[in-house]
Amino acid sequence: MAEMNKNCAVCGQPAEPEPGFYYGAMYMSYGLCVAICGFNFILTEFILKLPEYSFLVVNTLILILLWPLVFRYARVLYIYLFIRYDPNAGKNQ
């Protein structure tokens, strides 16, 4: 699940610029999970009007199912903060 390419296939940019780079992605993961929890709360409490305990059940299941996506997208968002995408990279090779 945590396996990543060592370098970009197009431009050769290292996917991990320095050791421990992705520790900061935990903050992105936290933010994504808070957004998902907020959406789940609004959905279960106000739209579907389910009993109070159902939020915990629904939220837990959704977070477990979405964990692989949250893990990957947190890393993607974090690396995009520091490394800009260059669509012309690798065309001169």
Please give the average per-residue pLDDT across 16-22, as a whole number.
Answer: 87
Distance CA 93, CA 89 (A): 9
Band (83; pLDDT cuts 50, 70, 90): confident
Distance CA 22, CA 81 (A): 12
Band (26; pLDDT cuts 50, 70, 90): very high
In 3D, which of 31, 26, 61 has the Cα closest to residue 43? 61
pTM: 0.80
For 19-30, b/e burial (b = at least 16 CB within 10 A) is: eebbeebeebbe
φ, ψ at 86 (rounded to 5°) = -115, 105
SS3 76: helix
